[in-house]
Amino acid sequence: MAIVAALSSAVSKPPSEIVPNAINQKVAPVIRLEEISKVYDTGGGISVHALREISLDFRAGESVALMGSSGSGKSTLMNLLGCLDRPSSGKFWLDAIEVDKLSRDQRADLRNARIGFIFQNFNLLSRTSALENVEMPMLYHRASISAGAMRKRALEALDRVGLADRASHHPNALSGGQQQRVAIARALVNQPRILLADEPTGNLDSRTSLDVLALFQELINDGLTVILVTHEPELCPFLQRTLILKDGRILRDSRRDKVGSAAEARAALGEDV
Amino acid sequence: MFKRFFILIIALRAIRRNLMRSLLTTLGIIIGVSAVITMVSIGEGARAEVEAQVSRLGENVILVFPGARQLGGVSIGGGSANTLTVEDAIAIRDEIPEVIAASPEVRSQRQVVYGNRNWATRIYGQSADYLMIRQWPLEAGRMFTEEEVFNARQVAVVGQTIVEELFEGTNPIGETIRVRGLPLTVIGVLDRKGMSLMGSVQDDIIIVPYTTGFQKISGRTHAMVINVQVFDSSAMDIARLKITDLLRERHRLAADQANDFNVQTQEEIAAAATETSRVMTLLLASIAGVSMLVGGIGIMNIMLVSVTERTREIGIRLAVGAHGKHILLQFLVEAVLLSVIGGLLGIAIGAIATHMVGFYGNMPVVISENAIVAAFTVSALVGISFGFFPALKASRLNPIEALRHE
Ligand SMILES: Nc1ncnc2c1ncn2[C@@H]1O[C@H](COP(=O)(O)OP(=O)(O)OP(=O)(O)O)[C@@H](O)[C@H]1O
Ligand SMILES: [Mg+2]
């Protein structure tokens, strides 16, 4: 897509890694987890084992649905993948960088440049326009970006999610689906390699969910790795791989050969009456 | 590299979003700064006044002030005690051979009107030989006579500033000016004296017979100071002793009672003035310190609330890759902006208050540039030091916990 070509400077990635996953089995994984455990200390001597010795690989361009009952450790895993939290034990590589050896600021740079995080509750700054919300990650980018370039890139990202005409609106003047798309634009603006979404469609109706999913599929075609947590099994056919967690362990890890098109499914639903 | 320019914008937006609260937050600083500026201006005014008094003195002049010796040994502004009478002045002149002239002085700050113009100036009631004491020549016209003093005639000798401001440079002799309805005929114009050491204009003056000054303008009964001239510098010490003896006798002071007046030469006054301004500055500096402390605590308080309130915002910024130091800087800049804006408002209000005190309080004031610069610098420092702790707290938040905060 044009936008990815335009947003090309921040992260250097060898062209071979952008090739869709079906062909490139031998390429080093984008993410590798080795016996990752996470134990929460809840005080009073009680500890919760949210993740138990999980080992996993994610390849470039892969799309993953992360499922499991409430409390199974999905959000905990996503926070670790997003470098927002650190595991209690185990090893974790992102782009061959061993994340656990990084400092707090280095992890922040990693989040800024390589990871886009999308939350169930959008997490936009409320009294700030959509454009400024999208510009925010660029403020913290290591490379110096001029105000004009920032604005241009933010507008391109908003255009990509179909919200160019809402750039000046504040989040409270936008619908839930629109807010989530602003959040996606914000996640994309620094051209990350990985998009992590924790129940991105949890607050959206089924039509809007498919819109968002169609957008994700475009990004996957561009070579992004997308991992999304969902409670809705009907979304799984649109993603290549399904991971099911239970009590902090992987219960099932399955791939499908044929992935449905969310855009077509959305078109089939038609408009709301 | 984080863009410094953007921190400013982020901070300005945050302040604008909570305009009312920001204003209330800075109230401590505003009050502190304006109080400091007003007080320093009054202090400077008093100092300029003393300075002007010192430089106004002629040769071989002794000043007798009412009241006991005051702070630093000099009576600032004068007129605080009512112990010196016109008769004391006459007695000093008539009964002490070394004294050749004595003028009981009374001052009033008044609005003076001529035609449709008016001007606030200082009116001095003096004796007929006052210009001799001051060695101050006339440019035109004449000084009032002893007969005019005796009869409390409504005549005036004016300084150059009055000629410029009221008469726009035309010849004022023979014209009538009014002070609260009281007509005064201008009979003389003083030579230009220029600035005193402190920069106060000595030409902004009107001199009238002291009888007129006491009875018709000020309403006072006692002299604010008695200007005495001794015939030769060698007689200063003896004249001083004789004046003291004479006044103690006239005031019927017993041997164990302290003087209810004080006699000073020009040199003593100059030395005391320096001491006074030093003490004054110290006093004001400590008041400034306290009010700035209070203002700073106010800012810290609100910044701490603000950090708690905006925990989610901080979480979001951290999640998209902000470093701790970016958050630290953001909140620090906000605190500094708050206190600097407070400082600027305080300076404006202080300047206005100073003018009001000068105008309605009939007090000499000099707006001090040093005080303005110091107040501004201190308010910025207050922002940095009291904003640092809340900002540090914000920068150390854990992104996940901050995001979960509601
Ligand atoms: N900060 C925390 N402190 C203590 N325990 C925690 C913390 N965060 C999560 N847990 C516990 O870890 C386990 C996994 O939580 P997690 O949020 O990962 O579940 P989840 O799969 O995302 O659930 P849901 O579908 O409801 O979002 C739960 O038992 C939860 O109580
Ligand atoms: Mg969860």
> The tokens of A271 are what?
């408009």
How many domains, chain A? 1
pLDDT (mean) for A225-245: 93
Predicted confidence at residue B78, as pLDDT, reads: 46
Provide the pLDDT confidence category of residue B382 given band limits of 50, 70 and 90.
Answer: confident
CATH number at residue A117: 3.40.50.300
pLDDT tens digit sequence for A85-126: 999 999 999 988 999 899 999 999 999 999 999 998 899 998
In a domain, A112, yes or no: yes
Closest CA to B59 of B101, B97, B107: B101
Cβ distance of B403 and A105 shorter than 8 Å: no
Residues of A in contact with B13 (CB under 8 A): 128
Bridge partners (DSSP) listed for residue A226: A63, A195
Predicted confidence at residue B169, as pLDDT, reads: 82
pLDDT tens digit sequence for B151-184: 999 999 999 999 998 998 899 999 999 999 999 9
* Local structure of residue B215 (DSSP, 8 states): I
> The tokens of A93 are what?
């590589």
Among protein residues, the one with the nearest Cα to ligand 1's atom 11 is: A50
Model confidence at A17: pLDDT above 80: no
In a domain, A93, yes or no: no
How far is CA B166 from each of CA A9, B30, B163, B187, rounded to the nearest angstrom? 74, 38, 6, 15
Q: Name which of A112, A143, A145 is nearest B321 (Cβ-Cβ).
A: A112
**Alpha-carbon gap, residue A228 to A217, rounded angstroms:** 12
B376, B347 contact by CB (below 8 A): yes
Contacts for A145 with CB less than 8 Å, ≥ 6 apart: A138, A153, B3
Cβ distance of B326 and A140 shorter than 8 Å: yes
In a domain, A49, yes or no: no
Predicted confidence at residue A250, as pLDDT, reads: 95
pLDDT tens digit sequence for B324-365: 999 999 999 988 888 899 999 999 999 999 888 888 876 777
Q: Provide residues of B within 8 Å CB-CB of chain A.
A: 1-3, 5-6, 13, 17, 312-313, 315-326, 399-400, 403
Model confidence at A23: pLDDT above 80: no
B302, B107 contact by CB (below 8 A): no
Q: Minimal Cα–Cα distance from A46 to chain B, Å? A: 19
Higher pLDDT, A14 or B116: B116
Model confidence at B91: pLDDT above 90: yes
**Given CB atoms, is A105 within the 8 Å cutoff of chain B?**
yes
Predicted confidence at residue A19, as pLDDT, reads: 39
Cβ distance of B400 and A141 shorter than 8 Å: no
CA trace torsion B183, B189, B191, B194 (10° rounding): 30
In a domain, A136, yes or no: yes
Determine the 3-state secondary structure of B151 from DSSP.
Answer: coil
Cβ distance of B315 and A123 shorter than 8 Å: yes
B186, B140 contact by CB (below 8 A): no
The per-residue pLDDT of chain A, averaged, comes to 86
Q: Is the backbone of residue B373 left (phi > 0), alpha (psi -120 to 50) or beta?
A: alpha
pLDDT tens digit sequence for B185-208: 999 999 987 654 444 567 889 999
Among protein residues, the one with the nearest Cα to ligand 1's atom 22 is: A75
Predicted confidence at residue B52, as pLDDT, reads: 65
Place of tokens 């005064």: B184
Q: Name which of A111, A128, A142 is nearest B319 (Cβ-Cβ).
A: A111
Q: Closest ligand 1 atom to the C-alpha of A41?
A: 4
* Local structure of residue A60 (DSSP, 8 states): T
Closest CA to B209 of B262, B156, B165: B156
Distance B251 CA to ligand 1 centre (A): 93
Cβ distance of A79 and B321 shorter than 8 Å: no
**Given CB atoms, is A149 within the 8 Å cutoff of chain B?**
no
- Looking at this protein, which amino acid is placed at residue B152? A
B324, B317 contact by CB (below 8 A): no
CA angle A26, A30, A34 (to 5 degrees): 95
The residue of chain B with its CA nearest to that of A128 is B13
Domain ranges of chain B: 2-52+273-404, 84-259
Give the domain range for residue A203: 2-11+60-86+102-269
In a domain, A42, yes or no: no
Q: Minimal Cα–Cα distance from B397 to chain A, Å? A: 12
Q: What is the ipTM of this complex?
A: 0.87
In a domain, A188, yes or no: yes
The per-residue pLDDT of chain B, averaged, comes to 85
Predicted confidence at residue B23, as pLDDT, reads: 86
